[in-house]
Amino acid sequence: MENKVLIIQNAMTLLEGQVQNSSLASEAKSALLVSVREIDAKFVVSLCEIASPPLTKGNLAYILCFLAGIEVKVIARVFNVEPATVYTARFRLRRHFANLDISPF
């Protein structure tokens, strides 16, 4: 369990780096960083354990953004992709949790 938490924390650190290097305004960056830091790593680990098929690192980055409550257009700017790509990622992530009655996103 500790190893998985460290992996999640590493992914959160990488996401924080992407936010820092993005073209967003400094106020927006600081707000995003606060929301990313508030995510509970153990909750993300439990999501990863119930996902079927297993999640990739790219999926994990999107999950962290969705759990932080970041808007799709902002996620697209941080990852330097089109908003349609973020919507597609969300759709594909929901398929990982199709065996559950609920979707975390």
DSSP 80: T
pLDDT digits (tens, 9 = 90+) for 39-82: 888 888 888 888 888 888 889 999 999 999 999 999 999 999 99
Please give the structure tokens belonging to residue 102: 């609920």
Q: What confidence score (pLDDT) does residue 89 get? A: 95
pLDDT tens profile 13-22: 889 999 999 8
Provide the 8-state DSSP code for 5: H
45 contacts 8 by C-beta, under 8 angstroms: yes
Asked if residue 99 has pLDDT above 80, the reply is: no
Q: Which residues contact 86 (CB under 8 A, 6 or more apart)?
A: 62, 72, 75, 76, 79
